[in-house]
Amino acid sequence: MTGFVSFVSSGPGDPELLTLKAVDRLGRADAVLFDDLSSGPILAHAREGADLIGVGKRAGRPSPKQDHVSRLLVDYAKIDQRVVRLKSGDSGIFGRLEEEITALRAEGIPYEIIPGVTSASAAAAAAGIPLTRRLTARRVQFVTGHDVTGALPEGLDLAALADPGATTVVYMGKRTFAALVARLVAKGLPADTPALYAESVSTENQRLTRSTVTDLAAELMTSNSKLPGLILYGPLADGDA
């Protein structure tokens, strides 16, 4: 068997943020299984004639089941295809990478992981801020805002997430941020902690909103936007700290 799978990180959406290795693998792939956020201009780098299969998952919309996606990877590799699994952001951050790796390992299929720009880094760059600063924001933490049911995950380390000396990034948290903020304020996070909401970062639809955690929580409760969004909060989020 000569089939091989490359897990390619596509970054947050801007094709200019692809790595050279990502572009190379796209240009040589026989099949590309792509997330919704990896579609559009990024797919222009795929080889002409390659099979392009959308397998993205979006909250509140019909989406392929994970076992179906894993099965497709295995099936293509077993017929000696060079497969790119194109994942948005960095494939190792909240991208369900491990389930797909497990399926490949079970079948003895070789693979590689190509890292990329995660949306947290892209959002901070777009806002003109760092994610860390000596003495002020000495730690960065990433957390997912929902579990498999769409609810706020149980068992969150609220003390860590309420740390005023950390920059915290909440992925997929628009629907649950208000509930999270209520718990964090109860744990001692100041209600006026700076927050940054980054929507469709690095694309033509990009929108950045600076606020506080409590004001942003209230705004998101009434938002009907379907565009992907990311939340940063902490001492650097207002851009002036």
Write down the pLDDT at residue 226: 87
Q: Write out the two tokens for 1.
A: 């068997």
Q: Is 45 in a helix, a strand, or coil?
A: helix
Each residue's pLDDT tens digit, 31-58: 999 998 888 899 999 999 999 999 986 6
Catalytic positions: 35, 57, 172
pLDDT band at 240 (very low <50, low <70, confident <90, very high): low
Residue 138 has pLDDT above 70, yes or no: yes
pLDDT band at 235 (very low <50, low <70, confident <90, very high): very high
% of the chain with per-residue pLDDT over 70? 96
Write down the pLDDT at residue 85: 98
Each residue's pLDDT tens digit, 59-115: 555 567 889 999 999 999 999 999 999 999 999 999 899 999 999 999 999 999 999
Closest CA to 93 of 196, 12, 179, 160: 12
Average pLDDT value for residue range 16-31: 97
Write down the pLDDT at residue 57: 67
Write down the pLDDT at residue 2: 86
- All residues at 6 or more sequence positions from 25 whose CB lies less than 8 Å from its CB, including other chains: 6, 8, 84, 114
The span from the first CA to the last CA of the chain, in angstroms, equals 56
Domains of the chain: 4-114 (3.40.1010.10), 119-233 (3.30.950.10)
Q: What residue type is 213 in one-letter code?
A: V
% of the chain with per-residue pLDDT over 90? 82
CB 237 within 8 A of CB 195: yes
User: Model-level pTM?
Assistant: 0.90
CB 44 within 8 A of CB 63: no
Each residue's pLDDT tens digit, 154-209: 999 999 999 999 999 999 999 999 999 999 999 999 999 999 999 999 999 999 99
